Chains A and B, each alone.
Chain A
Amino acid sequence: MSDPAATQPGGSAGFGPDLAEVFGPARLQPSDEDGGPDLVQLLTPEGERVRHPAFDIEFSEAELRGFYRDMVLVRRLDIEATALQRHGELGIWAQLLGQEAAQIGAGRALRPHDFVFPTYREHGVAWCRGLDPLKLLGLFRGVDHGNWDPAEYGFGLYTIVIGAQTLHATGYAMGMQRDGVVGTGDPDRDAAVLAHFGDGASSQGDVNESFIFAASYNAPVVFFCQNNQWAISEPIERQSRIPLYQRALGFGFPGVRVDGNDVLATYAVTRAALQRARDGQGPTFVEAYTYRMGAHTTTDDPTRYRLSADVEHWKLKDPIARLEVYLKRNGLAEEAFFSDLAAEADELGHTLREGCKAMPDPQPLDIFDRVYADTPEELAAQRDGFAAYLASFEGAH
């Protein structure tokens, strides 16, 4: 047998001393404890306001209190919904605990004409779009698949298939381009799309295809990835060997990593990225670096796969606590603000509990009429047959 290498062009002389040196390192880490040197931050975990050369903006006291109020109420919404699941009122709930800043920062950066494509965890963004939080519960209670009009709120229905909505977002943004609402310079006209997904979804083909389409057509879409470090039980290292925001470069558009537990920074970065899209400069990837403090959903048990020490570490970076420290230390909110807000949160909790239990069950015959815009005769016949079958039980015991 001859040496196969010897018959190759170049002979059997080998490749030199070290191919690792020729090609460079194979593996980098996707994350480190602090988010790395490129992390955009305006408010530290300790509540210190820090400056950023590119993304810094000034916030009024009212705006700061507004962010705080949003986060407190959305956390309450999440806690109530989790409790409602424990009481059997919801079948399941996807918790956002710990991701309040990422969602409120992104949600408040939107303008009315923008459009959002959420995952199933974007309760905070829904809040910012003015959606009645009770509407979010229907899907998890099992009375509907999402009971709001996307066009009314500029907020799509929750999408369960991981990453599928990023393509819808890109297509919607392509539609905006064709409608002439991108890059006109008219702030009342120009619009953009905000596409949500997570670190797990970054492995999906659809997400990668959406990057390619958005780049190819220069579509006005902001890809907003909440990297909460966990895709159910799988850590970010299973999805990516490089920081996610660095992937954007390979697709031909910029990527930014922002402290997703810092509502000010998330707002500032998302606002800038959305404006860039509205201006016709194309897509941006925003990686909101955060942590899923709760379980994936109420059916999950994170104690099986992650260390409580990690959770304790991230507790110190809590998005609400840091803004509270900042507000109090700088005298930006009276005591009455906090007590009023606590009462408002209690009222929200009450409304959610009562509203959830009062939600009517769907009617079995309705499902037949919602499949098509134009219901075929054979399906109408199936509905009628089922109606007759149901009616045959009336009066029976």
Chain B
Amino acid sequence: MTERTVQKVTLAKGLNLGLRKAMEADDKVLLMGEDVGKLGGVFRITDGLQKDFGEDRVIDSPLAESGIVGTAVGLAMRGYRPVVEIQFDGFVYPAYDQIVCQVAKIHFRSQGRVKMPMVIRIPFGGGIGAVEHHSESPEAQFAHTPGLKVVACSNPVDGYWMIQQAIAHDDPVIFLEPKRQYHADKADLDEAATPGPLFASRVVRQGSDATVLAYGPTVKTCLRAAEAAAGEGRSLEVIDLRTLSPLDMAPVLDSVRRTGRAVVVHEAHANLGMGAELAARITEECFYSLEAPVLRVGGFDTPYPASRLEEEWLPDIDRVLDAVDRSLGF
């Protein structure tokens, strides 16, 4: 008799189940952060885990981000695998020094003698009507830092698998979770399935007229845009990048060589964002296949606005389609 393993889960639940699985698999895995214990985190991603794994493994920390990441460094040196929750994207900056100067560099500094198997979970992106500092997209700052790996999940099934893979990985991983999606959609999760590799991009919709590159919260936006474009007879290929550092360029280049056009969509400011790096690499690698310059759709180069304006500020279906139109117009 086959045990039924498929269940419908949200991203929040997928992550929660993935964390539980990782903690069951390895008793060196610890969760740390503000309010991750009894409360289960402000987004409930760690719901019920302290009850089942105890206060020594699900650690409610003092309210100090540098302290959380810095003590996690020491725990990792002692052989633990800390999974740190930064409560909101905009609160990661007090820990920036520890992340960039210590977490990212200790393996290098020690010539590989000291590993830093740490996951830093950051709920990122906007669209939840929050106050300042709760809706940001700092991924480029970490992708710019050698020594870190940066991934972003976009859906419940990836959330479940990617968090486990990140925890099992021996390098530090900045794990970005699109907070707007936490409790939005449900997907079928088959825990008996075999996941693909962590550091791999994935074509999530096939198409032939233009390639749209997205990650995290903009994957859903771009899939919707592709759906709308299809209604107008335009065939968009959508790639969920999933990994931002390292980049997995092979599927991207393969796609752009076929379509001749690329549009990168992220919530982060376009200036010096992931789109700039992707545009440079695409141009370097398939210059003669391009029919149009690589275009970027991103947040404007302003601080994130008050939430009444966030729908105007964030890339939406129309701005994606507008960029596709411009690309096709060349």
Residue numbers in A under 8 Å from B195 (CB-CB): none
B249 within 8 A of A: yes
With both beta carbons as reference points, the residue of chain B lying nearest to A378 in the complex is identified as B246
Q: Is A113 an interface residue when CB atoms closer than 8 A count as contact?
A: no
Indicate if the CB atoms of A372 and B111 lie closer than 8 Å.
Answer: no
Q: Select which of A169, A213, A370, A376 is within 8 A of B67 by beta carbon.
A: A213
| Residues on the B chain within 8 Å of A209, using CB | 62, 64, 66-67, 70
**Among the interface residues B97, B117, B169, which one has the most CB atoms of the partner chain A within 10 A?**
B97
Interface size, A (range): 35 or more
If the complex has contacts A171-B78, A376-B199, A378-B249, are A157 and B62 also in contact, measured as CB distance less than 8 A? no
Q: Which of A146-173 contact B (CB under 8 A)?
A: 146-147, 149-151, 156-157, 159, 161, 164, 166-173
CB within 8 Å of A: which of B140-179? 146-147, 149, 169-171
Instruction: Establish whether residues A147 and B66, one from each chain, have CB atoms under 8 Å apart when the complex forms.
Output: no
In the complex with contacts A376-B199, A378-B246, A370-B94 CB distance below 8 A: no
Interface residues of B in 54-107 (CB under 8 A from A): 56, 61-62, 64, 66-67, 69-80, 94, 97-98, 101-102, 106-107
A373 and B112 within 8 A (CB): yes
Residue interface mask A342-377, B partner, CB < 8 A = 1:
000000000000000000000000010111111011
Q: Contact between B171 and A176 (Cβ–Cβ < 8 Å)? A: no
Task: Please indicate the chain B residues that have their CB under 8 angstroms from the CB of A206 in the complex.
Answer: 66-67, 70, 97-98
B296 beta carbon closer than 8 Å to chain A: no
Within 8 A of B (CB), among A204-222: 205-206, 209-210, 212-213, 216
B33 to chain A, nearest CB (A): 13
> Which residues of B are found within 8 Å of A379, using beta-carbon distances?
246
Across-interface contacts of B111 in A (CB, < 8 A): 144-145, 147, 370
Complex contact B147–A171 (CB within 8 A): no
Most chain B Cβ neighbours within 10 Å, of A151, A209, A367, A378: A209
Asked whether any CB of chain A lies closer than 8 Å to the CB of B266, the reply is no
Q: In the complex, what residues of A have CB within 8 A of residue B76's CB?
A: 171
**Min CB gap B82→A, angstroms:** 8
Given A144-B111, A206-B98, A370-B107, CB of A175 within 8 Å of CB of B70: no
For A370, the chain B residues whose CB sits under 8 A away are: 107-108, 111-112
Cα separation A156 to B77 with both chains bound (whole Å): 9
Would you call A371 and B74 a contact (CB within 8 A)?
A: no
The distance in angstroms between the C-alpha atoms of A169 and B72, with both chains bound, is 10
> Are B62 and A169 closer than 8 Å at their CB atoms?
no
Interface residues of B in 18-77 (CB under 8 A from A): 30, 56, 61-62, 64, 66-67, 69-77
Instruction: State the CA gap A166–B73 with chains docked (Å).
Output: 11
Tell me if A174 and B62 are in contact (CB < 8 A): no
Contact at A167–B171, with CB atoms within 8 Å? no
- Contact of A397 with B by CB under 8 A: no
CB of A179 within 8 A of chain B? yes
Q: Mostly helix, strand, loop or mixed at chain A's interface?
A: helix
User: Across the interface, do A150 and B113 meet the contact criterion of CB distance under 8 Å?
Assistant: yes
> At the interface, yes or no: B306 with Cβ under 8 Å from chain A?
no
A178 contacts chain B at the CB level, 8 A cutoff: yes
Within the complex, the shortest CB–CB distance from B59 to chain A, in Å, comes to: 8
B115 within 8 A of A: yes
Q: Are B246 and A373 in contact (CB under 8 A)?
A: no
Q: Name B75's contact: one of A144, A159, A164, A174 (CB within 8 Å).
A: A174
Per the bound structure, the CA–CA distance linking A370 and B171 in Å amounts to 11
**B187 within 8 A of partner (CB):** no
Q: Is the CB of A172 within 8 A of B74?
A: yes
Q: Hey, what's the 0/1 contact readout for A171-208 against B, CB within 8 Å counting as 1?
A: 11111111100000000000000000000000001100
Q: A377's closest neighbor in chain B, by CB?
A: B246
Contact in complex: B62, A205 (CB < 8 Å): no
A178 to B113, CA, bound (A): 22
**Judging by beta carbons under 8 Å apart, are B67 and A212 in contact?**
yes
CA distance A257 to B113 in the complex (A): 36
Q: What 0/1 pattern do residues 270 to 290 of A give for CB contact below 8 A with B?
A: 000000000000000000000
Nearest chain A CB to B220's CB is how many angstroms away?
Answer: 27
**Bound-state Cα–Cα, A89 to B117, Å:** 36
A212 touches B108 (CB 8 A): no
Q: Does B110 contact A (CB under 8 A)?
A: yes
* Contacts A146-B109, A147-B111; A175 near B74 (Cβ below 8 A): yes
Any chain A CB within 8 A of the CB of B280?
A: no
Assess the A376–B70 pair: CB atoms within 8 A: no
Report how far A340 CA is from B116 CA in the complex, Å. Answer: 45
Contact between B74 and A168, CB atoms less than 8 A apart: yes
Flag B225-269 by CB within 8 Å of A: 1 or 0 each: 000000000000000000000110100000000000000000000
- Residue in A172, A205, A369, A373 whose beta carbon sits within 8 Å of that of B94 in the complex: A205
Given contact pairs A146-B109, A171-B76, A370-B111, a sample of 8 additional A-B residue pairs in the complex whose CB atoms are under 8 Å apart? A150-B110, A156-B77, A161-B102, A172-B77, A178-B80, A206-B67, A367-B108, A379-B246
13 A-B contact pairs sorted by A residue (CB < 8 Å) = A145-B111, A166-B70, A167-B73, A168-B71, A170-B70, A172-B75, A175-B74, A175-B78, A206-B67, A209-B62, A374-B169, A376-B199, A378-B246
A-B pairs, 7 with minimum CB distance: A171-B74, A167-B70, A175-B78, A171-B71, A376-B246, A209-B67, A172-B74
